[in-house]
Amino acid sequence: MKFLLNQNIKAVSLGGINPNTTVLQWLRSNDLTGSKEGCASGDCGACTAVVGELIEVGGKQTLEYKSINTCIALACGLVGKHLVTVEGLSENGRLHPVQQAMVSEHGSQCGFCTPGFVMSLFALYHNETTIDLAKINNNLSGNLCRCTGYQPIINAAFLAFASKDDNEGDYYSRNQKQIIRALVELSHTDTVRCSYQGTHYDAPVGIDQLSDILNKNPGARIIAGGTDLSLDITQKLQEFEHIVNVQRVRELQSIEDRELELEIGAAVSFHSAWSNLIKYWPSLEPFLHRFGSMPIRNWATIGGNIANASPIGDMPPVLIALNATLRLRKGSKTRLVKLEDYFVDYKQTLLEDGEFIQSIIIPKLSSEEQLILHKISKRFEDDISAVCMAIKVRMDARRIIDVCVAFGGMAATPKRATHLEQTLLQNWDKANLKELAYIALKDDFSPLSDIRASSKYRLQVSTNLVQKTILNLAGEFVPNLANVYEYESQIGGG
């Protein structure tokens, strides 16, 4: 149970800990108190730290640093990785360039959120060679400040990069080769197992090992990034008796790009899948920015967003509209199931005991098809949807000849709107299509009222999204507020 911590090439041990322990809890109990607990749900960024992982680029091992929310990441998941906290930035009494930039630009007031901002800027400093406002905003999307406002922090990001070529680099850039060698040694670890006072943790490295563990322990809770499941620990104060972490399973980390489809392993993070997703479905780029902040996308997995069976998960409606299929595995046997058939009822799926999602198979669009996505939420990014809508449409001379529509937030499960699909096909040219769409949506759904939205609001806003889609397909411009930079350029903003 070893990993690298800050400026220490020698691996440190997690020690005997409860598998339900978060990274933040481990840090603060080991006198690393720079990371703060604000929300314990991955929303505020006060706890942000950075994890370094080995990746392969051009056949060579290299190091990638990613910001994460330590309040919802389990400490056992650090095994074989490099954790960098705010305590690990300065050297010999000299501040790190991003820390010095925050001081110079007066980017801190009360200081509670500052360590998180510094760590997000540290990840940006290491991952980018050039920056602009969009990159800065993207990397700071998971950090909230209630005191100074964001302009001094943005200025600090520009200042840190302005001086980047004028110094000899920080500890981590100068010692990258040694860090990589140390992580390569740690990566040879086989299945990780630990037990603590009746709780158990397994982290297999192969799919056969995973299948065997789940066959013997069908009640174990599977976790990958844990950005959803960890909330049961931090918010509901639950404790799982047996956790199986699939992050290290090689077969679940693969992406296969075939001629007509893309197959993504269930443990692939949104960050790792990003380039492939937006390559074949460009409309996913602004949508994924709204899916979650950078630290969430770095850690959350596509398989996890499906497996948790949340009715307000953002990816299931998209994948249902794209006619995606799941490859499920139990023991040595696999089966294919359409994603729209996977959800049975609220938080219930057709998974059998010991069965798990191996991969997601997504058909690519034809030249006549397009994917249109909408997300309605109170907060621009890193917020749960009140309504999520995905439409795959095939047009012929500006007429719909085939359509698939799916919604999240409108029922107990992510679900297709079959009545709406028929209405769009049969009444495309009618002047009262909006009214007909509303009637169809009432036939498809009976949405609940909750803290995010009322039933009436959900039906009305969904109807408006249908109308917006129709206008866009007819060639009438309706701005896409999910892409704030595109919108600002279209209206002449800065």
Q: Are 367 and 405 in contact, with CB atoms under 8 Å apart?
A: no
Asked if 143 contacts 123 with a C-beta cutoff of 8 angstroms, the reply is no
Whole-angstrom Cα distance, residue 204 to residue 23? 20
Please report which confidence band the pLDDT of residue 6 belongs to, taking 50, 70 and 90 as the band edges.
Answer: very high
Per DSSP bridges, beta strands 12-13 and 82-84 are unpaired
pLDDT bracket for residue 168 (50, 70, 90): confident
Rounded Cα gap, residues 34 and 37, in angstroms: 10
Question: Residue 360 and residue 68: Cα distance in Å, rounded?
Answer: 24
Beta-strand relationship, 325-330 and 356-363 = antiparallel
Taking residues 409-426, report their average pLDDT. Answer: 94
The mean pLDDT value for 204-232 works out to 92
Report the pLDDT value the prediction gives residue 483, as an integer from 0 to 100. 57
Residue 159 has pLDDT above 80, yes or no: yes
Per-residue pLDDT, 403:
95
Q: 78 vs 474, which has greater pLDDT?
A: 78
Question: For all residues of the chain together, what is the average pLDDT?
Answer: 90
Give the confidence band of 479 by pLDDT, cuts at 50, 70, 90.
confident
Smallest CA-to-CA distance from 474 within 398, 400, 422 is with: 398
Q: How confident is the model at residue 281 (pLDDT cuts 50, 70, 90)?
A: very high
- CA-nearest of 251, 258, 257 to 273 is 257
Contact partners, residue 252, CB within 8 Å, separation at least 6: 207, 210, 224, 246, 265, 266, 267, 268, 303, 358, 359
Could you give the count of Cα atoms lying within 13 Å of 394 in the half-sphere of its Cβ? 11
471 in Cβ contact with 367 (< 8 Å)? no
| pLDDT value of residue 484 | 52
Distance from the Cα of residue 447 to its chain's centroid: 26
Query: CA–CA separation, 62 vs 177, rounded Å?
Result: 9
Helix, strand, coil shares of the chain, percent, nearest 5, are 35, 25, 40
Q: Is it the case that residue 148 has pLDDT exceeding 80?
A: no
Per domain, the residue ranges of the chain are 2-187, 369-485
pLDDT tens across 318-377, in order? 999 999 999 999 999 999 999 999 999 999 999 999 999 999 999 999 999 999 999 998
- Tell whether the model's pLDDT for residue 166 goes beyond 80: no
Sorted by sequence, the CB contacts under 8 Å of residue 336 that are 6+ apart come out as 325, 326, 327, 328, 361
pLDDT at 58 over 80: no
What's the CA gap between 395 and 369, in Å, rounded? Answer: 7
- 3-state secondary structure at position 88: helix
Which has the closest alpha carbon to 373: 472, 270, 266?
Answer: 472
What are the structure tokens assigned to 403, written together?
Answer: 């359509």
Which tokens is 255 given? 């992406």
- Of residues 62 and 278, which shows the higher confidence score? 278
**pLDDT tens column, 362-384:** 999 999 999 999 999 887 766 78
Give the CATH architecture of domain 369-485.
Answer: 2-Layer Sandwich (3.30)
pLDDT of residue 490: 44
Which comes out higher in pLDDT, residue 428 or 251? 251
What DSSP character marks residue 351? P
Percentage of the chain lying above the pLDDT 90 cut: 71
Q: For residue 462, give the nearest of 396, 405, 412, 423 by alpha carbon.
A: 405
Backbone angles phi, psi at 80, to 5 degrees: 80, 5
Which pLDDT does position 485 carry in this prediction? 46
Q: Please name the fold of domain 2-187.
A: Ubiquitin-like (UB roll) (3.10.20)
Q: Which of 419-433, 444-458, 465-479 has the lowest mean pLDDT?
A: 465-479
